[in-house]
């Protein structure tokens, strides 16, 4: 029939099982549940990450930045130890390869120690409303490294987004 899309390619993919979850009512319900869960988790993350700088800024009034990083990290380690203890997942730690151990240890030292220390240092003495948006623009560095190291492509939308982010940083810093 003229004007109707050719559904033969979709039928072939469905027959091979590639589209079974996407073209059934149950598949749509499962997708909707997953999307709702993802949205809820994103909102929780947004609220937690949006709240913690205020807690840290108040805490840093009376605490040295390095002590703040230590206390924050110690609390995370204690909670994770309890989670691993009660979930029975300690054995999984023994299966982590030396390469992945080095990658996560390096990431922890870079982001969890050095970056948190420098962030706490500037947060203690600066304006939270300027510092947090600037430090939250780290995805610019990630996008550049993904392009240079991993060979990921840049779309026009991504480039426009990066330009808008840089413009926003300039505007925030000048305010």
Cα(147)–Cα(125) distance, integer angstroms:
34
Cα(1)–Cα(19) distance, integer angstroms:
24
Instruction: Report whether pLDDT(1) > 50.
Output: no
| Lowest mean pLDDT across 27-31, 42-46, 127-131 | 27-31
* Per-residue pLDDT reduced to its tens digit, 90-99: 888 889 999 9
Q: String of b and e for 24-53 (b: at least 16 CB within 10 Å)?
A: eeeeeeeeeeeeeeeeeeeeeeeeeeeeeb
| Lowest mean pLDDT across 91-100, 153-162, 165-174 | 165-174
Higher-pLDDT residue of 12 and 173 is 173
* Per-residue pLDDT reduced to its tens digit, 81-134: 999 889 988 888 889 999 999 999 999 999 999 999 999 999 998 888 888 888
Quick one: CA dihedral 39, 45, 49, 52, positive or negative? positive
pLDDT of 17 reads 55
Q: Which pTM does this prediction carry?
A: 0.69
Q: Which two tokens stand for residue 50?
A: 């949006």
Provide the percentage of residues in the chain whose pLDDT is more than 90.
39
Query: What's the rounded mean pLDDT across residues 146-158?
Result: 88
* Per-residue pLDDT reduced to its tens digit, 63-83: 999 999 999 999 999 999 999
Phi first, then psi: give them for residue 23, nearest 5 degrees: -120, 30
| 117 touches 69 (CB < 8 A) | yes
């Amino acid at each position: 029939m003229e004007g109707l899309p050719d559904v033969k390619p979709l039928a072939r993919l469905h027959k091979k099982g590639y589209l079974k979850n996407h073209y059934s009512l149950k598949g749509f319900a499962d997708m909707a549940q997953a999307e709702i869960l993802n949205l809820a988790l994103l909102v929780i993350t947004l609220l937690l990450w949006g709240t913690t700088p205020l807690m840290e800024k108040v805490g840093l009034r009376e605490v040295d930045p390095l002590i703040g990083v230590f206390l924050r990290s110690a609390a995370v380690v204690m909670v994770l130890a309890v989670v691993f203890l009660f979930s029975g997942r300690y054995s999984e730690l023994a299966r982590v390869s030396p390469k992945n151990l080095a990658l996560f240890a390096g990431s922890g030292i870079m982001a969890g120690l050095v970056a948190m220390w420098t962030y706490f240092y500037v947060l203690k003495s600066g304006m939270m409303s300027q510092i947090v948006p600037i430090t939250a623009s780290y995805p610019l560095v990630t996008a550049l490294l993904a392009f240079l190291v991993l060979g990921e492509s840049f779309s026009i939308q991504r480039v426009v987004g990066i330009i808008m982010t840089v413009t926003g940083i300039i505007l925030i810093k000048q305010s």
